[in-house]
Amino acid sequence: GKAQIGVTGLAVMGRNLARNLARNGFRVALHNRSQARTDALVAEFGSEGEFVPSTDLAGFVESLEQPRKVIIMVKAGAPTDAVIDELVPLLAEGDIVVDAGNAHFADTRRREAALRDKGLHFVGSGVSGGEEGALNGPSIMPGGSPESYAALEPMLTKISAHVNGEPCCVHVGPDGAGHFVKMLHNGIEYADMQLIAEAYDLLRHALGLSPAELAEVFRDWNTGDLESFLIEITAEVLSQTDPTTGGAFVDIVLDQAEQKGTGRWTVQSALDLGIPVSGMAEAVFARSLSGDVVRREAAAGVLPGPGDVKADVDRDAFIDDVRHALYSSKLVAYAQGFDAIRAASDEYGWNIDLGAMATIWRGGCIIRARFLDRIKEAYDRNPELPSLLVDDYFRDAVASGQDAWRRVVATAATIGVPAPGFSAALSYYDGLRAERLPAALIQGLRDLFGAHTYKRVDREGSFHLEWSGDRSETTA
Ligand code: NDP
């Protein structure tokens, strides 16, 4: 019989997604530009379920029951457009094209509009969890029309990760909403990893703990509020020894972080929306700095630090302080991330259910964490919550840890260990709660040099001071 769904693009992600669908009882059509991948899948995993392989795209489309459901899982960017262009003339009205690759949401909006004009549904869907997730249950963030989601829902919710019986797959919203939320997930992942790295670095420098001892600290943290996949694998990486030297694995790894670009996309989009995502921005910048070998080499040993100052801290107390700093900074990063999602949802009319986004990320993806339940609960309490930080749980969590957080940032500055994530998060927190910000002075400066006008605290309207004249105030 005909296949219920098809996957074109059978590299690691597409192959595993196709296997996941087949293992869950769906009949899956297969296609890949170079046939070798299709043949390999059938040869190696053909017994896992019902596959319908095709050598060309026309045959692939022909093998699908109508309305057709095609998942594209190829390299993001131009290759995705090439596949769409080849596919579209072969499809019929009502067919559904799913792009499960890592597309930029603006591309997804463009593609969705173009296919809608042709009577086709285009679903840009975020898929997170890497190879392993694609096979055993990813976190799935589908955009597109409600009708297309209704048609896909039984399959997507079956193959997604589940937490407490609930699928980590929810219709995010129209057109690019799914890919936007996937992008934000990656941005938050950047921030999370940066904060973890700062906690490690500070503890190592301030206390002189070995990577193996630090692995124990993270293992312990993973039994509390910080419990998450990233903390768990941090313990694993820190306890690993290098097979060649027998020393700590982390010490033989070159300290230059790479990036594929989704963190940068997140920050660029947030800039466009006017939303401060300083946690993610500092994470992207920290990676850029780590890779800037020329300037690092020019500065190392040349720019003076604070000298051999010892952190004046008690071991166990400082470990607990850093735990608080990490958790509070992480809450800020998530609060900022959800602000960006809310702003995009308003800007593009997506009507995103913020609490539901936290449930999608509870399983299958890299940022899966116990504390995502707290985010869901916060939005259940108040769907109009202006910032996660003002929810009772988050407010109390930060309040109970803020003295520790301040001590950690101060210690980092004193001993000269970079902590851009911790300190930017704390500055954001203090800026958010400030009764009065120095923006008043900035407005004054702008009025002086550019007659940009200012507003007053005591009455309505815009005003300008005659700075080069008699300094009287005029109404703008
Ligand atoms: P790659 O991104 O490495 O892409 C390889 C696949 O794209 C192959 O099937 C290749 O076909 C196909 N392809 C490339 N160019 C073209 C073209 N012009 N026309 C037709 N097909 C083309 O594969 P991955 O499996 O790693 O990722 C697939 C998608 O999933 C990407 O968008 C990626 O960003 C995203 N993703 C990846 C994750 C991961 O952990 N790897 C996690 C989440 C999302 P051929 O075999 O013929 O070369």
Quote the pLDDT of residue 259. 87
Give the pLDDT band of residue 35 (cuts 50, 70, 90): very high
- Residue with CA closest to ligand 1 atom 30: 101
Q: ipTM exceeding 0.90?
A: yes
Is residue 185 a known part of a binding site?
Answer: yes
Give the side-chain half-sphere CA count within 13 A for 211: 18
Which of the residues 86, 118, 131, 189 is marked catalytic? Answer: 189
Q: Is the pLDDT of residue 84 over 90?
A: yes
187, 101, 177, 223: which is closest to 356 by C-alpha?
177
- Is the CB of residue 355 below 6 angstroms from any atom belonging to ligand 1? no
Active-site option among 69, 112, 182, 330: 182
User: How many other C-beta atoms are found inside a 10 Å radius of the C-beta of residue 161?
Assistant: 23
- Over range 239-261, report the average pLDDT: 96
Residue type, 195: L
Nearest Cα neighbor of 110 from 122, 93, 100 is 122
- Whether 156 and 169 have beta carbons less than 8 Å apart is answered as yes
For ligand 1, is residue 83 a contact (CB within 6 Å)?
A: yes
Burial of residue 241 (CB within 10 Å: 0-12, 13-18, 19+) is middle
Would you say residue 308 has pLDDT above 90? Answer: no
- Kindly give the number of the ligand 1 atom that is closest to the alpha carbon of 12: 25
Q: What is the pLDDT of residues 117-169, one digit of tens each?
A: 999 999 999 999 999 999 999 999 999 999 999 999 999 999 999 999 999 99
**Token digits of residue 441:** 């002075």
On whether 34 is known to bind a ligand per the annotation, the reply is yes
**Number of the ligand 1 atom closest to the C-alpha atom of 131:** 40
Ligand 1 pocket check for 10: Cβ under 6 Å: yes
Atom of ligand 1 nearest to the CA of 14: 25
Q: At 151, which amino acid appears? A: A
Active site residue 182: yes
pLDDT in tens, 394-420: 999 999 999 999 999 999 999 999 999
pTM: 0.96
Is 216 tagged catalytic?
Answer: no
